[in-house]
Structure 1
Amino acid sequence: MTGKQLLDDCFLHDKDRLRHRDALALLKERLSSIAEKETVALEEAGERILAEDITAPRNVPLADNSAVDGYAFRQEDYDDAGGFFRLQQRVAAGHASGLELAPLAAARIFTGAVMPPGADTVAMQEDCESHSQDGKDFVIVPQGLKKGANCRKAGEDVAEGEKILEAGQRLRPQDLAAVASTGKGTVEVFRKLKVALVSTGDELRRPGGPIDVGDVYDSNHFLLRALCGTLPVDIEDLGVLKDEAAQVESTIKAAAGRFDVILTTGGASRGEEDHVLQALDALGKRHMWQLAIKPGRPMMFGSIEKCVFLGLPGNPVAAMVCFLLYARPVISVLAGGPFLEPQRFDVPAAFDVEKKKPDRREFYRGFLRADDAGRMNAHKFMRDGSGLITGLREADGLIEIPEDVTSIRKGDPVRFLPFSGFGIR
């Protein structure tokens, strides 16, 4: 693997919490792709990150063809024939005709069929009238058709030599169709990253087993595993680690030699049982920690030799917010893709916030609803607790409130980040 060497951290003090925009700038500046390349069959390339530019080797479509079932003729004959053409030939898709269209003649043609030599216009069959005279077949074409009507020109979709896709793009279904239309059967993509997923905490239990008072089921594992499904990665579950410093450090040390990325939840603060932070400091370098955001303040970004370390908070809401805002774009860049910026829409607030702490960016769970005038407004989930998964489930996205805003009144403009913009359907 290759890539920029991550620099030493200069944000080491709790009081120096990093602002959201500065955290994004730091991540953008210090990251580059570490993924190697491989060639895969086109049918296996969906959702992968393209590692080569795709240029059309030929025109698409390759030749002029009919866009409808109908009758092809020469526009120059239109007025002379008075719309009355003799049927000369029949052309079906996949059976190109080498017979040049005679003057005052038309060809019965079907959708996708190559235009016969000389023809340049097509009339739709439902607008035409068939006619027989003296044992010969004719067609009556209505007046008013312009030259080139219902005809798809060669190269109309893509011209020979035109760049269709650039390296670094995620291959969507429509992109696969574009590549296939050029005749290319394989593509070069970046290999999927190997990501280790680690949960920490004595209180955590995996679903399917018993639970006692004081225990909680490990919802973060399933949340993050599903969120990683929107990225080109292979996930390996390293299980739930107890709050034991030696076990946490040894597990992370071993994982750093096997994986491209380690993604943890919990243990990111400075408490006596927060051993993940201590393990990162002992094994590698911490480049980012303590952000001026809510939820998600103890988000960690670091490195252990060539392995990138992402430490998310333990509360589910904070874990999801930090994954979407920071971990997702980091993994995308490492995998050869772009730094994924969320979609943002300015909409009026349908809620009040009497007092918000300054110098901190906050992300509320929210949803859009139309008012009586049909205008979309942002509604805030009524409770703000970072452990309330209900808010994530009922929300359609996040409402982003900048550092300098200290209160919100109904009608004030706010920025809405739909979950769909993060690849969550």
Structure 2
Amino acid sequence: MTTLNEFSRCVAQYDPHALPVSAAQAIVREWATPVTAIERVPLRDALDRVLAADIVSPINVPAHDNSAMDGYAFNRAALATGASTVDLTIVGKALAGHPFAGRVEAAQCVHVMTGACMPADCDTVVPQELVERGSGTATIRFAANALSAGANRRLAGEDLARGHAALRAGRIMRASDLGLLASLGIGELSVRRRLRVAFFSTGDELRSLGEPLDPGSVYDSNRYTLYAMLRRLNVDTLDLGVVRDQPAALEAALRSAAASADVVLTSGGVSVGEADFTKQLLQTFGDVAFWSLAMRPGRPLAFGRVWSGAHPGLGLPALFFGLPGNPVAVMVTFYQIVREALLRMSGATPQALPLIHAASRRAIRKRAGRTEYQRGVAEQGANGQWHVTPTGSQSSGVLSSMSEANCFIVLGHDEADIAEGERVDIMLFDGLI
């Protein structure tokens, strides 16, 4: 069996000391295999779940030809007489849910409302605002060149034809999708089971909310940030709290997490500090692809697998992401490395996060040879052009910079210093954070 470490060494640009972000993403993508379990859920419970199979429409939508607006339905032959105006006699009315059942002759029309079935022999609708109708009369007149034959008619199956795929497997169900399936009469569907993610923070200095702060201690913010980001992805979470810098405690937490979850996330404990024991433990019962990225913030980041047993291959496996301890680095690495993996493991088909070009309002210092994700405030001018301003200190410990910002300024691996006014890529937080 090929190990993660062996696989990683075959990836282009592999560098165990400073792996490029693109190479790290490629490695993670290869090993993020979807969960296989499927469950049936009612339509109302399907929001944000991942569709497990294609849904084929059992009916045409709309079911019948219908009027696209309020007006008068008639046969297109009335437009081909060569006269400059068209005069028609009204023979009835059609409302949505109440069709007109009679026949319509060549010089006749039916008053129709939006959504009403098209009467037999009618294929064109003239909007009521284009017609002249005297008070108390049963005739209408309009200019022959006011519309073309077949105008303002919606065809049966125009939105969705019977037998065609309405939604594809791997789709994350949105509000509009629930409405679409309801329009097809579908009240239950198959979805992938939710991904299970266990997470905890490491460090003797960390305190949970409600605990007193001793000298040198700080409140643990990373678990709350991770919980919120995971909740956005609609996964099942298992919060294992704060684990002290003790090998036995860390080993027990990792084994317990591997036994209970598909993915294990930790924050802190993956650098080269004397009290960072994760690396030596994973050499015993794990398989690690990389420990360090050419990335700022987020250089110390571990990715691999852990098992609940005493050795690799024994017990239950889980993918492992060892995130940095600094709060901003936790968020950056989660969104740039972890997020796509969790979506793939959930069975979804991830879409690349869009990048927008913006002019930088300030000069930005940047060292080539690493990818940087600086925090910025982006705004769009009246001319439609985007501009971005970095949010002051870019220290990975300044979490307030994330709250102030509305985007990442994405500076590529080979880019160097950015001059004021130079264009950069930005990734907006809206819909992400």
TM-score by length of 1: 0.90
For the 8 Å contact 1:9–1:285, the answer to whether it is kept is no
Q: Which residue of 2 aligns with 1:312?
A: 323
Shift of 1:129: 3.8
User: Match of 1:17, SS?
Assistant: coil
Unaligned runs of 5+ in 2: 308-316
Q: Partners of 2:380 and 2:158 in 1: how far apart?
A: 40
For the 8 Å contact 1:35–1:192, the answer to whether it is kept is no
Q: After alignment, is 110-119 or 400-409 more displaced?
A: 400-409
Letter in 2 for 1:74: N
Q: Which residue of 2 aligns with 1:336?
A: 347
Q: Partners of 1:32 and 1:78 in 2: how far apart?
A: 60
Q: Which residue of 1 aligns with 2:314?
A: none
CA distances 1:282-301 after superposition (whole Å, capped 9, x unpaired): 32211221111111011111
Q: Partners of 2:79 and 2:246 in 1: how far apart?
A: 87
Letter in 1 for 2:182: A
Q: Which residue of 2 aligns with 1:114?
A: 117
1:19 aligned to 2:30?
no
1:395 corresponds, among 402, 405, 413, to: 405
Q: Which residue of 2 aligns with 1:414?
A: 424
Q: Which residue of 1 aligns with 2:163?
A: 161
1:91 aligned to 2:94?
yes
- Equivalent residue runs for 1:9-408 within 5 Å: 9=6, 16-78=17-79, 82-131=85-134, 137-143=138-144, 144-305=146-307, 306-354=317-365, 356-370=366-380, 375-408=385-418
CA distances 1:221-268 after superposition (whole Å, capped 9, x unpaired): 111111112213111211111222111111211121111111111111
1:8 aligned to 2:5?
yes
Shift of 1:157: 1.5
User: Match of 2:374, SS?
Assistant: strand
**Are the structure 2 counterparts of residues 247 and 346 from structure 1 closer, same or farther at C-alpha, using a change threshold of 3 Å?**
same
- The alignment-based identity, stated in percent, is 37
Q: Partners of 2:18 and 2:6 in 1: how far apart?
A: 13
Between Structure 1 and Structure 2, how many residues are aligned? 417
Shift of 1:322: 0.3
For the 8 Å contact 1:40–1:187, the answer to whether it is kept is yes
Q: Partners of 1:204 and 1:9 in 2: how far apart?
A: 35
Unaligned runs of 5+ in 1: none
Letter in 2 for 1:364: Q
Q: After alignment, is 53-62 or 265-274 more displaced?
A: 53-62
**Are the structure 2 counterparts of residues 65 and 374 from structure 1 closer, same or farther at C-alpha, using a change threshold of 3 Å?**
closer
User: Match of 1:299, SS?
Assistant: strand
Letter in 2 for 1:200: T
User: Match of 2:260, SS?
Assistant: coil
Q: Partners of 1:38 and 1:127 in 2: how far apart?
A: 53
Shift of 1:132: 6.8
Letter in 1 for 2:276: D
TM-score by length of 2: 0.89
User: Match of 2:118, SS?
Assistant: coil
Letter in 2 for 1:375: Q
